[in-house]
């Protein structure tokens, strides 16, 4: 490999390390800001008026993953109790179908949640001008 290419490789490696460090620092700061500005976030889009014609827009995500062993043991009892297959609330590759999961009644969800592992996803943030749409003049 030529010397110029080795130099480029060295610079690239240094930049990739700096980028990794910056990503970690950015994520920590993003989570800190999100936590301070949205103490009780709702799943989906959350907004905070910054008072200067801008708003902070944050997306709060919950990652729902199916516990396959718990699901397998829940399938027949779910059918026996609710008369419908629990399979309709999952996709074929055994992952949660969140759209259908959200249609469960409170009682069905309480029962079904025994095979769901829920943890917060990474929040996103953006600063943008406040939308004029829907504002009264």
Render pLDDT for 11-32 as a digit per residue (tens, 0 to 9).
988 998 999 999 999 999 999 9
Return d(Cα 120, Cα 74) in angstroms, integer.
24
For residue 134, being part of any structural domain is answered with no
Q: What are phi and psi of 130, to 5 degrees?
A: -65, 135
Same domain for 83 and 51: yes
Rg (CA), the chain: 23
Q: pTM of whole model > 0.85?
A: no
Same domain for 19 and 53: no
Confidence of residue 135 (pLDDT cuts 50, 70, 90): low
What residues make up the domain containing 28?
A: 1-37
Same domain for 95 and 33: no
Same domain for 100 and 79: yes
For residue 120, being part of any structural domain is answered with yes
**Tell me, what's the pLDDT at 131?**
82
Question: Burial, 52: exposed, middle or buried (Cβ in 10 Å; 0-12, 13-18, 19+)?
Answer: exposed
Mean pLDDT of the chain: 91
Same domain for 117 and 60: yes
């Amino acid at each position: 490999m030529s010397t110029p290419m080795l130099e480029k490789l060295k610079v690239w490696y240094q930049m990739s390390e700096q980028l990794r460090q910056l990503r970690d620092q950015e994520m920590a700061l993003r989570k800190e800001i999100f936590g301070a500005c949205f103490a009780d976030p709702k799943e989906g889009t959350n907004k905070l008026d910054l008072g200067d014609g801008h708003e902070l827009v944050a997306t709060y995500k919950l990652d729902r993953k199916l516990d396959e062993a718990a699901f397998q043991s829940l399938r027949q009892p779910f059918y026996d109790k609710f008369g419908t297959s629990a399979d309709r609330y999952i996709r074929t590759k055994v992952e949660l179908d969140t759209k259908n999961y959200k249609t469960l009644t409170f009682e069905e969800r309480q029962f079904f949640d025994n095979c769901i592992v829920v943890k917060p996803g990474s929040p996103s943030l953006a600063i943008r001008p406040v939308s004029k749409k829907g504002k009264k003049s």
